[in-house]
Structure 1
């Protein structure tokens, strides 16, 4: 028998030994296959909210929101956008949320003359009314890094500045993990946040140190699920296409 034929014969003879023994779960690929529970089907139309999302603002309807002190939303609605009225205070959702995926589109005003730093296009998205993701015109507008767009205000600076020029729409895609507290009020686990700004990762599973403070260090106090809050900060920032998925 020639050498190649001899090698082929040897391999064929060894093949049964390499096969998984019948009934041996350690060599059966099916033992690591999970078929249940089957993930829910979520339709995602181009440019639209996922089919299981709660639409908080569709460009017209503000019924999911109320004024900071209750009552009708005091901001203007036109051309598919909701715009801050300076001096009117912020707005919050009527529904309360804990762990969420949140999509928000926002736009800073084009009139920048005489405005710089924190006075230019300032607003904020407060998760559970306490923890602020900064909204600011940070396009060629220097300010302290943990106060620019994409920062967890006064806590965590963004990994990048993905800001577009004033007047252009921008998007935040947020994954929020709410803090957990013990029955006695102690902190079990802090809040965590992941943020993409215009598709760029700017907060990567960031640990939130506590509620947002303008002066002083952040800290935690026990609380339950709470509304989302959009800040009025004397600037005509606009919002549109806001939706949320409970996680």
Structure 2
């Protein structure tokens, strides 16, 4: 394990290798140089210059940056205004011009030059055995948008709109050899799942449709396997969706569906786009949820039931922009992205870049999030030069603030390297140990074996042994690239 000092050294090597660079016309970024005190003593200091938009700047003069111990407060805070090709800071003589930050201040004479810190793990190649989520030779892979689940069947449109009833959806899964598979489905309201005539799952509760809410393991035999969903209706909306993948959430090799819209290829996420549908079925005096145990014709006499073909050719939507270099950019209001792959213990590598939004403030300034297992959020935000709170970049909402604020200026690529231990559960589903996380932001340790006693706000569901990676849409065009997960052996 690398020590804190070694990681800091690696980061500084990245800085030295880059050499001295300018910050461009906006002047925002890190500076390093000397402060000559009134008594003539000289020491090394740093400055973090923040652009607040409309020509307003702030410079925090600090004894150190990107390392521990974190200074309790800056040595000096300067407020400045853009004046042509320079930034003049208040009543002092300090100014940024022509690539330098110089001048007299209340604590002495500044002489600073810009430098650019870069994470030592940028571009880190996925090791053997890693699951590529964004990047690799094939570009964007392994993601879906649950807001636009493929193959949703609106039963109020396909059948007569009704209440306190049930309908059946049927298709066949065809595989060449026996295998284990995973059914991910959601429904409005409840659902009962049958495989080859046997009930394998039931959730008879009123609820809205949430894509992939249910997780059902299937044991498939070689050849044809009849999958049937019984969708219960209390009232209002009435719909369902389903997809079949392998146990890690990836495409199931060799899977075919008996019913598939003509000319439409199999959906990459395994979404079922066609069904035989039968219904609606009712029984006097019984609510929709009570019909879960009532065997109607599709259960008792499938051949004698009346079926109609219903197709939804709309696959799962991609609500992001794919750039030429394989980077993806979140589309505002496009919805969060979720990996097809689900993971437990292992190591996650994420590269991200927040947009330049100088006039935005707080949570509206380059906001996104990396949700481990879709449940524990590591915040993504432009919080360059700020205090480093649990709701700022690198923070884990309500559970832990970063040991040091490692957020770089907006527009610069950054990294999270995460060692994750999933929560543990006994045979009855009771949690016996909390999840645990160690996080390095741009190569520097910011969380050290932090226990996560609960899911954070915005979680996709209850805690579990496995779950997907989720990249949060919070309305800002944050970019991601080179994202992979290496499971622990």
2:410 is the counterpart of 1:136: no
Give the secondary-structure state (helix, strand or coil) at the position aligned to 2:390.
helix
Q: What is the alpha-carbon distance in structure 2 between the residues aligned to residue 221 and residue 110 of structure 1?
A: 35
Counterpart position of 2:216: none
Deviation at residue 222 of structure 1 after TM alignment: 4.9
Give the secondary-structure state (helix, strand or coil) at the position aligned to 2:379.
strand
For residues 114-152 of structure 1, what are the alpha-carbon distances to aligned partners after superposition, in whole Å with 9 as ceiling and x for unaligned? x1111111100111111111111110346x711111111
Alpha-carbon contact 2:423-2:465 (below 8 Å) kept: no
Runs of 4+ in 1 over 6 A off after TM superposition: none
Q: What is the alpha-carbon distance in structure 2 between the residues aligned to residue 53 and residue 221 of structure 1?
A: 26
Q: Kindly tell me the number of residue pairs found equivalent between the two proteins.
A: 197
Q: What is the alpha-carbon distance in structure 2 between the residues aligned to residue 76 and residue 138 of structure 1?
A: 24
Deviation at residue 50 of structure 1 after TM alignment: 1.3
For residues 11-42 of structure 1, what are the alpha-carbon distances to aligned partners after superposition, in whole Å with 9 as ceiling and x for unaligned? xxxxxxxxxxxxxxxxxxxxxxxxxxxxxxxx
Instruction: Check 1:116–1:61 CA distance in 2 against 1; reply closer, same or farther (3 A cut).
Output: same
Q: Which residue among 471, 474, 477 is the counterpart of 1:236?
A: 477
Report which structure shows greater RCO (CA 8 Å, sep ≥6). 1
Q: What is the alpha-carbon distance in structure 1 between the residues aligned to residue 481 and residue 361 of structure 2?
A: 24
Counterpart position of 2:125: 48
2:339 is the counterpart of 1:93: yes
Deviation at residue 178 of structure 1 after TM alignment: 0.4
Alpha-carbon contact 2:328-2:481 (below 8 Å) kept: yes
Counterpart position of 2:402: 158
Deviation at residue 52 of structure 1 after TM alignment: 2.3
TM-score (norm 1): 0.74
RMSD, matched Cα: 2.2
Q: What is the alpha-carbon distance in structure 1 between the residues aligned to residue 430 and residue 407 of structure 2?
A: 38
Deviation at residue 213 of structure 1 after TM alignment: 2.3
Counterpart position of 1:120: 365
Q: Which residue among 41, 53, 58 is the counterpart of 2:135?
A: 58
Q: Which stretches in structure 1 are left out of the alignment for 5+ residues?
A: 1-45
Q: What is the alpha-carbon distance in structure 1 between the residues aligned to residue 140 and residue 423 of structure 2?
A: 28
Max Rg structure: 2
Q: What is the alpha-carbon distance in structure 1 between the residues aligned to residue 463 and residue 448 of structure 2?
A: 24
Q: What pairs up with 1:79-90 in 2 under 5 angstroms?
A: 79-80=324-325, 81-90=327-336
Give the secondary-structure state (helix, strand or coil) at the position aligned to 1:118.
helix
Deviation at residue 57 of structure 1 after TM alignment: 1.0
Alpha-carbon contact 1:100-1:244 (below 8 Å) kept: yes
Instruction: Check 1:224–1:172 CA distance in 2 against 1; reply closer, same or farther (3 A cut).
Output: same
For residues 142-184 of structure 1, what are the alpha-carbon distances to aligned partners after superposition, in whole Å with 9 as ceiling and x for unaligned? 6x71111111112100000011100000000001100011122
Q: What is the alpha-carbon distance in structure 2 between the residues aligned to residue 126 and residue 162 of structure 1?
A: 19
Give the secondary-structure state (helix, strand or coil) at the position aligned to 1:86.
coil
For residues 64-115 of structure 1, what are the alpha-carbon distances to aligned partners after superposition, in whole Å with 9 as ceiling and x for unaligned? 11012331321001142100100111010111111120000000001322x1
2:430 is the counterpart of 1:186: yes
Deviation at residue 201 of structure 1 after TM alignment: 0.2
Give the secondary-structure state (helix, strand or coil) at the position aligned to 1:145.
coil
Alpha-carbon contact 2:366-2:382 (below 8 Å) kept: yes
Q: Which stretches in structure 2 are left out of the alignment for 5+ residues?
A: 1-122, 150-315
Higher mean C-alpha displacement, 73-82 vs 100-109: 73-82
Instruction: Check 1:221–1:49 CA distance in 2 against 1; reply closer, same or farther (3 A cut).
Output: closer
Q: Which residue among 68, 74, 97 is the counterpart of 2:319?
A: 74
Alpha-carbon contact 1:103-1:172 (below 8 Å) kept: yes
2:176 is the counterpart of 1:176: no
Give the secondary-structure state (helix, strand or coil) at the position aligned to 1:153.
coil
Give the secondary-structure state (helix, strand or coil) at the position aligned to 2:457.
coil
Counterpart position of 2:468: 227
Alpha-carbon contact 1:68-1:90 (below 8 Å) kept: yes
Alpha-carbon contact 1:116-1:141 (below 8 Å) kept: no
